[in-house]
Amino acid sequence: MGRDRIVEPEITRLQISDGDYIDVKVRLNHGEHDDYLARISPYQTPGEPMKMDRRHIRTSMVLAYLVGWSLTHKDKPIPYSPDMPENARLDVLNSLDRDTFVEIFTAIDKHDDKSIAEAAARKNGKGGATPSPAISPSPVVVTGDTSGSESLTETSSASSSSN
């Protein structure tokens, strides 16, 4: 029996600083990945190096993965969900302070690296980590080199319908 080739819409939680967290997609499916590539490089000439729009490189990855967070402003939750139009989500991201955005991007970038490594392991028949167990009784600390100073903690949740 072959491996499962559909990406289930599962969400995992990444802890960031000061007790805040972000909820991200465990994996991007083909369409989401294509959307991500199209944002950073809408047009590509075959045979030529890909030209990327630097304004969108980091933001596009965050847009692709992020589905929610615990961030607040003046003690009120900052709205962010896939139910919002993409332009509205982009406006919210662009309103964040730079340190917060970098922290979110760094967490998602590490998550993306981990997701790619797991996908490669699955493809090679090495199994890889389970993408998202239904319930994770205890947080799993993400290990490896970090480009920032934050200690990232990843927990998993079941496929969520609350976003």
- Interface ranges with other proteins (CB under 8 A): 8-11, 25, 67, 82-83, 159-163
- Shortest reach from residue 145's CB to other proteins, in Å: 30
CA 110/CA 143 separation, integer angstroms = 10
Nearer to other proteins, 10 or 150 (CB): 10
19's CB contacts (< 8 A; 6+ apart) are 70
Compute CA distances 32 → 6, 19, 70, 75, 143, whole Å: 13, 29, 23, 32, 26
Nearer to other proteins, 8 or 99 (CB): 8
- Shortest reach from residue 49's CB to other proteins, in Å: 33
Compute CA distances 118 → 72, 127, 135, whole Å: 33, 8, 19
Nearer to other proteins, 151 or 163 (CB): 163
Are residues 2 and 18 in contact, defined by beta-carbon separation less than 8 angstroms?
A: no
Nearer to other proteins, 84 or 120 (CB): 84
- Shortest reach from residue 25's CB to other proteins, in Å: 7
- Shortest reach from residue 83's CB to other proteins, in Å: 7
